[in-house]
Amino acid sequence: MSDTPPQNPDYDTMTRDIAEVPAVEVIVTVAVNLMSAAAVKLGLTEEGDEHKDLDEARKLVTALAGLLDASTTEISSFHAAPLRDGLKSLQLAFREASLVPDEPGQGPGEKYTGPVYG
């Protein structure tokens, strides 16, 4: 057992670090994290169905679509285009994974993107 007291995070340093990160980088990082989480919940990882949960995936894909809809003009097409492609892939994967697919326009995030067709 160590006699060293637990270290508290240096919140001032963390705040300064966050202040230096451009907004575009924060938005893209959040989008990529949402995409990754959605892929896991869709069973698209090596573990496959082990973590599959379509209800959770729907929430994540919808959140991603809302974020991209709200931020597309802020992050430029250079960043937005691949994120939109990834979103569409997730939406199509959701439709394929569903036992009873949603009607076009009713799938996750489609209120922001419009209907997604394969």
Q: Summarize the confidence of residues 90-108 as an average pLDDT.
A: 94
Under a CB-based contact definition with an 8 Å cutoff, are residues 110 and 62 in contact?
A: no
Per-residue confidence (pLDDT) for residue 48, from 0 to 100: 83
Give percent above pLDDT 70 in the chain: 92
C-beta neighbour count of 108 within 10 angstroms: 26
Distance between CA atoms of residues 52 and 34, nearest Å: 15
- Long-range CB contacts (within 8 A, 24+) of 65-69: 65/91, 65/108, 65/109, 65/110, 65/111, 65/112, 65/113, 66/109, 66/112, 67/27, 67/30, 67/31, 67/34, 68/31, 68/112, 69/112, 69/113
Is the four-CA dihedral 73, 79, 85, 89 of positive or negative sign? negative
Question: pLDDT tens for residues 47-75?
Answer: 888 999 999 999 999 999 999 999 989 99
C-alpha 80: how far from chain center: 13
**Residue 84 identity:** R
